[in-house]
Amino acid sequence: MSSEKIALTQTVQKGGCAAKVAASELRRILQQVKFPAAHPALMVDGGLFDDAAIYKVSEEIALVQTLDFFTPIVDTPKLFGEIAAANALSDVYAMGGKPKTALGILAFPLATMPESVIVDVMQGACDKVAEADANFVGGHSIDDDTLKFGLSVTGFVHPQQVWSNAGAKVGDHLILTKALGTGTMTAALKRQEAQEEDIMEALLSMATVNNAVDYMTPALKAQVHAATDITGFGFSGHSMQLAKASGVSLKVHSEKLPRFSKAFSCLEKSYLTKAHRTNAQYTEHDVDVAKLDALHKLLIHDPQTSGGLLLSVSSNVSQDMVQALRAKFKSAEIIGEVLPLQDKAVIFE
């Protein structure tokens, strides 16, 4: 049996970041856990739902640590490996860091899938790790009922150049680097209402490594005040978390939000996931969607897999920043600005 004949999305109930535990449920669970006291060298932990942890090693180096894994979101094994790796690497970039090492996390149904599937998945991941100029150094695997794959990634960042979701400043402009709509478009794929070639724009975006750092001059990078990547909690959830962590409000111009060409048509056909509902519930008290039409409401709650970076940058460099980023991220766009704290964390215009 060849890996090309297996539609991976049909082997699992949920795929990609849409399989994440709902944010409200996760918060309720974590609030019941007594975590160890933070070491003084720990600069960023999970308290503000940031993208990765930061541990200061010296005055010049801090470790960036993260992990991410999920079930297949596409049918082609190598593409699944590429997307899973790009998604995991993204968290290091979202902290302003550069990945250095990656460990694989693998659950594989030995009895029902040929080994060629995991060879292709691993090769796709290795290609993306190499693209990030990092090293694949090992991992752990188990025999399981369904395929799951991801990476634990360690990177470096200068302690004084850390991006977090807690530094947005009033007057900043907001930049989003990738289009929205991966959730609904891959839902169409899972329902077999679309083929991979039909949603290739979303697949190529998900496989794009979120290395924004190398497209910025040091002067531009220094003007990034806050950052996060947009994944399973949708644009609404991750922007809300950034606003709350920073103690500000965000005004977002919905017509500026980049979206894939088929995103609205898939949403119109109700190609949805459970996360569309749970993301709406998670943000309902802190996000003002009164001015949005029905499709934009669905779009902002759409669970992204390997989505773009949301950057809060000085307004005087935002245009230069977008032009620099578009060398790699064609959809990069200024989508809003940072306001003093209002009644709502995020206000959609």
Active-site residues, by number, are 17
DSSP designation for 180: B
Contact 159, 97 (CB under 8 A): no
* CA 88 – CA 111 distance, rounded (Å): 27
CA atoms of 175 and 95, how far apart (whole Å): 15
Distances (CA, A) of 260 to 9, 15, 85, 197, 279: 21, 19, 22, 14, 20
C-alpha to C-alpha distances, 79 to 31, 84, 125, 307, 331, nearest whole angstrom: 36, 9, 9, 15, 21
- Alpha-carbon torsion angle 285, 289, 295, 298, nearest 10: -20
Surface-to-core class of residue 300, CB atoms within 10 Å of its CB (0-12 exposed, 13-18 middle, 19+ buried): buried
Q: How far is CA 220 from CA 157, 261, 311, 322, in A?
A: 16, 30, 12, 10
Q: How far apart are CA 97 and CA 213, in angstroms?
A: 8
